[in-house]
Amino acid sequence: MARLTLEQAIRNAIEVEKSAARFYRLLGASTGDAEARKFLERMVKEEEAHAKAIEDMGRKLTSGEIPGQADDNMECVETMPDWAYTDDISFDQAIEIALDAENHAALYYSAIADGFQGKAAELGKVAEFFGDLAKTEEQHVKNLEGMIEKKRGR
C-alpha cells in the first residue's frame, strides 16, 4: 500500500467535506419538515465553507499540486448512507444524523493526524493541520449536542 502523501490527504479531506454537503443537500430535499430542511441547508453551507477552508489552508502547506480527485471513496466518512434515501426526516433525526456524521469525521481526521506524527518539522505541521480539523469536527459535535440539550429543555 502506498504511503498517503500530504497532497492526497488534503484532497481526500476536501472530498469528505464536499460529500457531506451533497449528503445534507439530499436529506434536506427529501424532508417536508421545515425546521429540518432549514437546519440541513445550514449544514450544507457549513460543509461547503469547510471544504474551501481546507483547500485554502492545504495549498499553504503544500508546495506541490493538490490532486484532482480522492484516492479512495470518501463518501462514507462524514455521511450516514443508511439515511440517504429516507423520506421526511424530522428535525430530531437530522440532528442525530449530523451528530454521527461529525463524530465520524473527527475520528477520520484524528487518524490522519496520527499517521503524520513525526519528528520532522514538516510532519508536525501536517499532523497539527489534521489535528485542528479533528478539533473543528469535535466542536461541531459539541454544538449539535447543545442543540439536542436545548431542544430537550423546551
- Helix 34-61 and helix 91-115: axis angle, to 10°? 10
Return the pLDDT at 121: 60
Mean pLDDT computed over 50-56: 93
Contacts of 85 (CB under 8 A, 6+ apart): 30
Mean pLDDT computed over 26-32: 90
Distance CA 107, CA 25 (A): 23
Identity of the amino acid at 20: A
Q: Is the pLDDT of residue 128 over 50?
A: yes
CA distances from 35 to 2, 30, 39 (A): 45, 13, 6
